[in-house]
Amino acid sequence: MKYNNPIIKGFYPDPSVCKVEDTYYLVCSSFQYFPGVPIFESKDLINWKQIGHCLTRKSQIHLENVNSSGGVFAPTIRYNNGRFYMTTTNNTTNQNFYVWTDDIYSEWSDPIYVDQGGIDPSLYFEDEKTYFISNGKDDYGINGIVQCEIDIETGKKLTSSRTIWAGSGGRFLEGPHMYKINGRYYLIAAEGGTEFGHMVTYARGDSPYGEFEGYKDNPVLTNRNLGGYEIQGVGHGDLIQDDDGNWWLIHLGFRQSGQWEAYHHLGREVFLTPINFRENGWFTAGYNGTTTKSFSINNISRDVIQNEKKSYTFENTDWDKEWCYLRIPNSANYKFTRNKLSLRGTEITLDKEDSPTFIGLRQRDFNANISCDISIFDGESGITLYMDENHHYDLAIRKKGNGYEVIKKLNIGDIKSVEKTVCLEKNNISLVINASNRYYSFYIRSGDEEVYLGKAQTKYLSSEVAGGFTGVIIGLYAYGSSYCNYAEFTNFKCKYI
């Protein structure tokens, strides 16, 4: 069977996976977006459906005024004695915590905090013991992968935190996960930074505390030397075994916008790479230690068909699952129906580290046609291609004196520029954005007439320009201070080509 990477497209970084009976469950980072930590399920490792989020209540996560790419860092999902656990970091408050649920389709607990530093925490369960693992500095001042035992009911440390592996020598050692396979303990990690030098490394030992011997050919997986190849930044993986005994690595990576254009704006995505264990117990990954755009492999049944959703509308998406907010929203400013969205604007703009009236979908592919009909009564409302508060492109309609106007606004760092203005006599219009790997093109449509408003380069919304760890969100927003400032959005469509 041939499958294509990424298996989950768009800004869903730092994946972690577990398996319960015949179903796989996967979680990803969410940073400043709410709800936090999206959850997916799959029966075949290829096709994934989002089923909810772990952090759905204000009491579970502090996001007020957190910095962009702050908030919720890399989660880990595990299952033990009938209960799911998700552990993560709020990097803004420097707190490691976990939540749990007995029903993954329902609510998760309030957080239980663990007094161990670092980021990217993970759990390992064995013999009624719970091991808590993160990167950072241990109780003796030694840097590396740090581990302690905890009381899973309270989060209280039962042992001191000590470093169990210092990695293979790459920078930014992070993303640790532990497994017991054929009597040995395997510890995998990410190194090199979640950029073009990213990689997966691992070690193994005879106990959860080691000593751990690094794989002599580390990194086991990286695309760092594949110059000009679309898939880059491969790393931060989690191992999983299927029902047939095959092992896989689910990990992040990103797609750069062109062969020789080292920019990525879709965010870090979810990839699947096969693992091959040798007779000596060490394993290799992928094609000569790299991840490719597709794998033809007999480990997956020919009956499995990889399906990809190409069109996203109000009608075929779930407001509580695919859509997200910036930080904690004021629910009074949002009204949802099956085919219409009503937003009430506030004085909070998209340029603030706050919670403007905004709801969005992750951009999942380079080539797309995005459109929406908008009616306003006051203020400004429209579509934003949002990377962070300093990097976003806005196509909007706003009140101007006794009339209205459509604007194309580019926000790149400290430059905030209205590039195009078109006056209108009416208060409703169709906004259209066509996306490609290099450009966004902006239009307004009235009946059969379409007016071109220019284009903007995608690279200015990339991580290489904007910084941070997120990706472009296709957002609908409203802004303004008057009581009458509300907008109605209908006929939204994002179609990938």
DSSP for 189-258, written as a single string = EEES-SSTT-EEEEEEESSTT-PPEEPTT--SB--TT-TT-SEEEEEEEEEEE-TTS-EEEEEEEEE-SB
The catalytically annotated residue of 14, 269, 378, 388 is 14
Whether residue 6 is preceded by a cis peptide bond, meaning omega within 30 degrees of 0, is yes
Alpha carbon distances (Å) from 251 to 8, 135, 291: 11, 18, 10
Q: DSSP E strands: which ranges in 287-377?
A: 294-296, 311-313, 325-326, 334-336, 340-344, 357-362, 368-376
Q: Which residues contact 96 (CB under 8 A, 6 or more apart)?
A: 87, 88, 89, 113, 114, 116, 117, 118, 119, 121, 132, 134
Is 217 known to be catalytic?
no
Structure token digits, residue 91: 């990097």
Is 394 known to be catalytic?
no
Rounded to an integer, what distance in angstroms lies between the CA atom of residue 16 and that of residue 268? 14
Hunting for tokens 């015949």 — which residue is that?
A: 22
The catalytically annotated residue of 120, 149, 174, 394 is 174
Enter the DSSP assignment of 267.
Answer: -
DSSP for 394-417, written as a single string = EEEEEEETTEEEEEEEEEETTEEE
Active site residues: 14, 174
